A and B are shown apart, each in its own frame.
Chain A
Amino acid sequence: MNRILAAAVAAAFMVTSCALAVAAPGKQSSTTLTGAGSTFVDPLVQQWVPAVAQAYGYELQYSPIGSGGGVAAVSSRTVDFGASDAPLSRDQFGACKGCVQIPWALSATSVIYNVQGVRNLLHMNGATLAKIFSGAITSWNDPAIRKLNKGVALPDLKIATVHRSDNSGTTFNFTDFLSSASPQWRSKIGTGVAVSWPGGTGSRGSSGVAATVAQTPGAIGYVDVAYALKSRLTYFAMQNRSGKFATPGLKGILAAASSDQKPDGTNALSIVDPPKKYPLAYPISTFTYVIVPLQSQKAPELKKFLFWAVTKGQKAGPRLLFQPIPKPVLVVAEKAIARIHA
């Protein structure tokens, strides 16, 4: 009797799942646009999901698996679009087989820290940060840090550096800055979406880094500034080339963006560590890009979505410290979007 009952339950379970799977084709057969990549731009894209559904009825599915993953996914056409903060190299363009790179958002990487009782916006510069992440400076009351923060009582606490364990455009942005500020970093470790970190803890995704820093006294990590805001983490004011300590706010990001208004042939821009004449610039700012195949079955929907994203979609940005993209860049972006065809 029990056997029959068990068999019946199992059969019912199987039949139900099968029926549900076959008979229910999801919600209304609205167009689904799938994307994956940068965790940096994830806060903004998640704001777009309900807005796009309301404006066009498209279902936007975005998965923050890291910039490297996004490039790989769109190259193998596993998704409709990819998102990367690091501009594509020539090899990557080749592997993607006819993709276009379009700047669609602008924000900054904040360097977060967790030290009890210490105020927000401590001062830091690139050279010292490079020494910290390469293991040359190991304690919070090191003279180099104290020199930048005169009058602040820094504890004798070990620094725990936290980096991204996955391929990350945020890592690219951060190491780009460190390479620009420190020749030793540039020659020994360099810039990349993943580098050979000398020590420290690796965490997956920006939220992983934010979580690790939040739970570890003495930790320093790097995440998109929206994560720092939402997690209520303290972050550094970074010294730029003009000597001022800039904060990753809208003004600082806009100032940095004015240092490069001309996207190159592949629509890439570099606004890291801008020259002296931008005193307000936050030196770890970056554009972030959407990577789309030029030819796609979902071309009309993609175009509508992307046109919306670079214009109306930017309005959702400032609250999360995404600066709306400047006009010259917008023009280039719209030209690129127009090239997408079915």
Chain B
Amino acid sequence: MSTHSLTKATLRAEGLPRRRAVNRLMELTAWLAAAVAVAILGVVVWSVARRGAGALDLDLLTKPPVPFDFGSTPSGLSNAFAGSLVIVGLATLMALPVGVLVAIYVNEFARPWVRTAVGLALDVLNGIPAIVIGIFVFGLFVTGHGQSGYAAAFALACLMLPLVARSTIEVLALVPGSLREASLGLGVPRWRTTLSIVLPQTVGGIVTGTVLAVARVAGETAPILFTSAIVGPQLHWDPHHALQTVPVAIFELSESPDPSDHARAWAAALVLLLFILCTSLAARRLAARSRAGIVSSR
């Protein structure tokens, strides 16, 4: 665009009113898109909140389900909440150390081509649909041995690993090289440097990544369908058995003809949603704070 003198005549000659109109239209469209997105979110969250809150009571967490009952005896989903706690906890225990170790290797020890290869493997793992992971774990651990909480935890760990590894890699990369060099220069061995000097700087980022990964897998249904879904109504904590989980319970209740089942599904969905929201928000606050911490300590 050439530099004309900016008089009204020149601008009008270049069709400014039309351009302004188009601009206005586009701005309105963007506002509208944002409004639609907010409305959709509002509707979904409001639905869950309203119906869930109506059905939420302590029974949900303390009483086991009474199947095929149509609401005549008070029932809840205690077995699902217990099972979810155990399975997600086990998955975290499996994924966290491996993820951190992978990140340490990639960041501290690996040659460039190894770095790309492992990075690619992690990205590929991240992109595999959860249901394919479920079939994989079923073929590996369940056929011949039976379903168990361990198999389900392993499946969830496969989903968590790339998230934990990636966020740890990012946070490790933020630690300045000068810190490492100073430590090595003082005679501290490489392994000690990594574990005692570099890693503590990244705890915040690791926790953030783990918490985000937990929030992601807490609601996963597909891999658990094949690994820990043949369950009875009794309350169990032992992961050698198949354990009921909250997302699978919601899935099964959503297809029931019984309105009291629907009510329990909404209530469980509300609890699950609140858990995921709180952990996600806490993780993001932590992320911002820890990143600021590392940047400011440079």
Contact = CB atoms under 8 A, between A and B. Distances in A.
Q: Do chains A and B touch in the complex (CB under 8 A)?
A: yes
Contacts of B118: none
Contacts of A63: 229-232
Contacts of B293: 3
Interface residues of A, number: 49
A227 B147 CA distance: 28
B234 A27 contact: yes
B237 A26 contact: yes
Nearest to A76: B143
A241 to B, nearest CB: 32
Interface string B234-247: 11111101100000
The winner among B67, B145, B256, B258 for most chain A CB atoms within 10 A is B67
Contacts of A233: 257
A77 B203 CA distance: 44
B125 interface: no
A16 B286 CA distance: 22
A21 B230 contact: no
Interface in A8-66: 10, 13-14, 16-18, 20-21, 24-27, 32, 34, 36, 42-43, 46, 49, 59-63, 65
B86 A17 contact: yes
B237 A6 contact: no
A311 interface: no
B85 interface: yes
B286 A17 contact: no
Contacts of A42: 67-68
Interface string B246-282: 0000000001111000000000000000000000001
B230 A34 contact: yes
Contacts of A132: none
A338 B290 CA distance: 67
A267 interface: no
B90 A18 contact: yes
A140 B198 CA distance: 74
Interface of B: 67-68, 70, 85-86, 88-90, 92-93, 96, 142-147, 149, 203-204, 207, 210-211, 229-239, 241-242, 255-258, 282, 286, 289-290, 293
Interface of A: 2-4, 6-7, 10, 13-14, 16-18, 20-21, 24-27, 32, 34, 36, 42-43, 46, 49, 59-63, 65, 73, 76-79, 203-205, 207-208, 210-211, 213-214, 226-227, 230-231, 233
8 tightest A-B contacts by CB?
A17-B89, A61-B232, A210-B257, A211-B257, A63-B230, A3-B204, A208-B255, A26-B238
